[in-house]
Structure 1
Amino acid sequence: MAAKSANLYARIEPEVKEQAEGILSALGIPASNAINMFYKQIILQRGLPFDVKIPSARPVDMNNLSEEQMNLELEKGYADMKAGRTKPASKAFTNIRKDYNL
């Protein structure tokens, strides 16, 4: 393994740093290791290791739907399931959290 001798200086929003370091701490990963992993993924992927895009729409707030709107949403979900346009719930929730900063 190569010796770690290069320094990286970056200015980021304090809230972002605090939240990210809290998560990394819970995972037992020092920030420097996470940054090193990120850079290695950039190399492996030959670009950013995630999609950079503006979400097309926010998730539907089921609490504010009428019965008719709820039925339409359920029918859309059923049609997607029958057409094979589904993904595991864990991946869906991960994507939602990432896309909407939750």
Structure 2
Amino acid sequence: MAKSANLYARIEPEVKEEAERILTVLGIPASNAINMFYKQIILQKGLPFDVKIPSPSRIDLSVLNEEQLHKELEKGYADKEVGRTKPAGKVFADIRKDYNL
């Protein structure tokens, strides 16, 4: 079995640059990352992540009618009532910690 094989792929220059910048910080050569990706495809018997259209994480309040707006407000109130919220100070502290700010 050959010790290596060549892979030729076209990729957007900005995507390549950003990914390689991150890989450099991690200390992983691009060829090793690609090899890891292919090994995960083999282990998972498919792509090692979900391929789907993400649901929108933010709601544009300006496009909601009154009924939809009330529904969203009720969801927020229900979350508060059962304790699925965090104090704003804790949220900002977590953000600062996560992003070393």
> Which TM class, normalised by the smaller chain length?
0.5 to 0.7
Q: 2 CA distance for matches of 1:60 and 1:76?
A: 17
Question: Counterpart of 2:19?
Answer: 20
Distance 1:71 1:37, change over 3 A: same
| TM-score normalised by structure 2 residue count | 0.59
Q: Which runs of 4+ in 1 moved over 2 A?
A: 58-61, 68-81
Question: Counterpart of 1:57?
Answer: 56
> Percent of aligned pairs with the same residue?
68
Q: Match of 2:38, as an amino acid? A: Y
Tell which structure's C-alpha radius of gyration is larger: 2
Shift of 1:71: 6.3
Distance 1:77 1:25, change over 3 A: farther
Shift of 1:52: 0.5
Unaligned runs of 5+ in 2: 61-69, 85-101
Unaligned runs of 5+ in 1: 62-67, 82-102
RMSD over aligned CA atoms reads: 3.0
Aligned pair count reads 74
SS in 1 for 2:9: coil
| TM-score normalised by structure 1 residue count | 0.59
Greater RCO structure (CA 8 Å; 6+ sep): 1
Distance 1:69 1:17, change over 3 A: same
Question: Counterpart of 2:37?
Answer: 38
Shift of 1:5: 1.8
Q: 2 CA distance for matches of 1:80 and 1:55?
A: 26
Distance 1:74 1:33, change over 3 A: same
